[in-house]
Amino acid sequence: MRIAGARVWVTGASSGIGAALARELADRGAAVAISARSTEKLRAVAGGRMHVEPVDVTDRAATVAAAANVRAALGGLDLAVLNAGTWSRFHVDHWDSQAFADHLQTNLMGTVHALEGVVPTMLEQGRGQIVGTASVAGYRGLPGAEAYGSTKAALLHLFEALRGSLGPRGIVVQTVSPGFVRTPMTDRNTFPMPFLISPEAAARAIADGIAKDKAEIVFPLPMMLVMKVARLVPVRAWTAATAAMTRRGLRRGS
């Protein structure tokens, strides 16, 4: 994709990776529309150079309508970056089914609602590009990520399936799987975060991957290598490793 001149919609753009990516794409010459729940935060990110389209992606009808408004504002849509998401640590000793529902509604169904807003028009056009934000946390099960990781694993499956179904119809589908990025979400973490990078570095990696039409955009490189290898670890060995993590946490009282 040629980013300069492209018409782009970024969801989850009020902070973190989404905000940094919106700025990066605008700096590279794209016409950008941004969405999230907070109008005030979106305006601060936009700085007067992006279209602001507030929406709560858990609301299906509102999200589909927002996609239509973005197309009207930009004169069409070439690229949709579906980045809206939430994270909270899960505690098995205080089981909370609502935590799963909240993650599902934002991370998975929020993405599905946005897809409903962009896929039909892209199919009619016979072209377009969709970038979905998953996570390396979706590669394998991790203690504390039962709710979050489940939705990210579902997104990995969803975008892989869409690559096969939409690719022959002229639509490029890419999956972004970040490692640890310094954002308001990760600022709440109390566990070690190896290879932590800035949102700006993440945005550059994503924009470069978009420009190259990479099927998977995984970063930073050390985290990508660790998690790719993790996929190959036998189940028994992975369970032993994650159980050891849990025992260390219990000894620390976390």
Which residues participate in catalysis according to the annotation? Answer: 148
Residues in the chain: 254
Contact, 178 vs 219, CB < 8 A? Answer: yes
SS3 string of the chain?
CCCCCCEEEEECCCCHHHHHHHHHHHHCCCEEEEECCCHHHHHHHHCCCCEECCCCCCCHHHHHHHHHHHHHHHCCCCEEEECCCCCCCCCHHHCCHHHHHHHHHHHHHHHHHHHHHHHHHHHHHCCEEEEEECCHHHCCCCCCCHHHHHHHHHHHHHHHHHHHHHHHHCEEEEEEEECCECCCCHHHCCCCCCCCECHHHHHHHHHHHHHCCCCEEEECHHHHHHHHHHCCCCHHHHHHHHHHHHHHHHHHCC
Q: How far apart, in whole angstroms, are the C-alpha atoms of residue 227 and residue 132?
A: 18
Contact, 137 vs 145, CB < 8 A? Answer: yes
Q: How far apart, in whole angstroms, are the C-alpha atoms of residue 149 and residue 143?
A: 9
Q: How far apart, in whole angstroms, are the C-alpha atoms of residue 91 and residue 245?
A: 14
